[in-house]
Amino acid sequence: METRFRRILLTALMLCYSSLLVAQQPAADDDSVMIEPSIERIEFDEAQIDTEDLEILLMLGYLSIEDFGVNELLQFNLNYHVNESIFVQVSFGQSDGGETSYEIITQGAPLLTPSERELSYYNINIGYNLLPGEAFLGDQLAHNTAFYLSAGIGVTEFAGDDRFTINYGAGYRFLLNDATGIYTDFRNHVFDMDTFGENKATNNLAFTLGISWFF
């Protein structure tokens, strides 16, 4: 009996409360209409600004491997522009060693297996935009450019071994627009080789042309 009374009482109370809510609803709407501003407000959101400090590069060119001829080189770079002058760079490259003069003349047994002839490397470099500037195409177009220097360390895998490598070089960056650039780069990769008995430092020159995208 007691629970039934309680239930009826509660139901009545709920009904009263909900009708009150319904009665209040339109009043609240009227208020909001009165203070609604007629101008649409545009917020400035910093996250909307397109930040372009990272740059990916695809480079093609030639690598002269000491004693193993000149061969095609494919290289990928990822640049991070720390400030207007300095950038850090990670690069991966791949090429193939040709035949040595000895192998060509004697027509004897090859010194390296085909897989040992594959050359690949990675480098971590620091670059400096030494001469930022502008290049003018005709009297209407101006393009931002930079002559940069960069150097770093890495590892080259060639002739079956990993070889500690230092590399240094210079290049020219020509920006087609704010997001795309054209590169030309000249670089020396120095690593030790002991394949022919004595251990000697080899200088391996690379010339590459590339295209880059900022993102």
Judged by the rule CB under 8 A, the positions of this chain that interact with another protein are: 41-46, 48-53, 80-85, 88, 90, 116, 124, 129, 132, 134, 142, 144, 153-155, 159-164, 178, 194-195, 214
Q: How far apart are CA 154 and CA 72, in angstroms?
A: 20
**Beta strand residue intervals within 65-140, DSSP E:** 70-81, 86-96, 118-137
Q: Rounded to the nearest whole angstrom, what is the least distance from the CB of residue 146 to another protein in the complex?
A: 9
- Tell me whether residue 17 or residue 164 sits nearer to another protein (CB atom): 164
Q: How far apart are CA 152 and CA 24, in angstroms?
A: 72
In this structure, what are the phi and psi dihedrals at residue 39, rounded to the nearest 5 degrees? -90, 135
Q: Rounded to the nearest whole angstrom, what is the least distance from the CB of residue 13 to another protein in the complex?
A: 42
- Tell me whether residue 55 or residue 185 sits nearer to another protein (CB atom): 55
Q: How far apart are CA 33 and CA 177, in angstroms?
A: 48
- Tell me whether residue 36 or residue 45 sits nearer to another protein (CB atom): 45
Q: How far apart are CA 188 and CA 63, in angstroms?
A: 9
- Tell me whether residue 4 or residue 41 sits nearer to another protein (CB atom): 41
Q: Rounded to the nearest whole angstrom, what is the least distance from the CB of residue 147 to another protein in the complex?
A: 12
Q: Rounded to the nearest whole angstrom, what is the least distance from the CB of residue 144 to another protein in the complex?
A: 4
- Tell me whether residue 29 or residue 53 sits nearer to another protein (CB atom): 53
Residue 173 is encoded by which pair of tokens?
């960056």
Q: How far apart are CA 170 and CA 131, in angstroms?
A: 11
Q: Are 97 and 120 in contact (CB under 8 A)?
A: no
Q: Rounded to the nearest whole angstrom, what is the least distance from the CB of residue 175 to another protein in the complex?
A: 9
